[in-house]
Amino acid sequence: MPPYNKTDRSTLKRLPARGFYDRDLVHKILDEGFICHVGFVADGKPVVIPTGYGRIGDKLYIHGSQASRMLRTLKTGVAACVTVTLVDGLVLARSAFHHSINYRSVVIFGNATLVEDPEEKSAALLAFSEHVIEGRWKDVREPTEQELKATTVLMLLLEEVSAKVRTGPPIDDEEDYDLPVWAGVVPLRIVAGAPINDPRLSPEIVPPEYALNYKRG
């Protein structure tokens, strides 16, 4: 797939060597993440809201109650900035100044549009569910018509997009490499624990495979 086109907003200014515009990389980061942070201006004030999301191709979907201020504001077409960040490790240098974090992140600029087509709306809700835990949708009751009407779904095209990635060991000043201080990386990852049954669950119902062996990335 061709890379995303660079724009003034999506081109990294600081540490540009960490910037990537590869679609596969962007999609992989988005598909591994759980939460995006949506930044916008409401009533003249900046707001950043964390929320779940789903992706279908080059379309990012967010959803929620019709009463949501975020969704009511975004569907008017105001400019938005959406970010997703994955933390991969703590980078411990020999000096306090050079401590860092290994991470993968995506920044998306654009304007959200309201999803009104029933088929696209249903597909987006399926994408939300499968994004969180693949296979769950087929086991649960699907939304009723009333629930669908009470849910707002917005779509943001992935057009102005960039990824930023830091990997590898700490980078110290040359004169600090001889200091008697441990330096390196503490890797971090999401690890699922054993499923906990709902107290009202029937005793004969056992956790499904996707809950017993859940893993991310």
Cβ 57 vs Cβ 124: under 8 Å: no
Three-state DSSP class for 64? strand
Residue 1 lies in a domain: no
- pLDDT tens for residues 148-195? 999 999 999 999 999 999 999 999 999 999 999 999 999 999 999 999
Residue 5 lies in a domain: no
Task: Give the position of tokens 């991969």.
Answer: 88
- pLDDT tens for residues 200-214? 999 999 999 999 999
Residue 161 lies in a domain: yes
Average pLDDT over residues 49-76: 95
Residue 2 lies in a domain: no
Task: Give the position of tokens 């959406």.
Answer: 82
Residue 11 lies in a domain: no
pLDDT of the residue at 15: 82
Residue 6 lies in a domain: no
| Residue ranges making up the domain that contains 41 | 16-172+182-212
pLDDT of the residue at 113: 97
Residue 148 lies in a domain: yes
Task: Give the position of tokens 């980061």.
Answer: 29
* Nearest by Cα to 74 from 64, 88, 59: 64
pLDDT of the residue at 12: 81
The rounded radius of gyration (Å) of the Cα atoms in the chain is 21
CATH number for the domain harbouring residue 207:
2.30.110.10
High-pLDDT (> 90) share of the chain, %: 93
- pLDDT tens for residues 66-106? 889 999 999 999 999 999 999 999 999 999 999 999 999 99
* Residue 11 or 163, more confident: 163
Residue 139 lies in a domain: yes
pTM: 0.94
CB within 8 Å of 181: residues ≥ 6 apart: 94
Domain count, the chain: 1
| HSE of 68, CA atoms in CB hemisphere, 13 A | 18
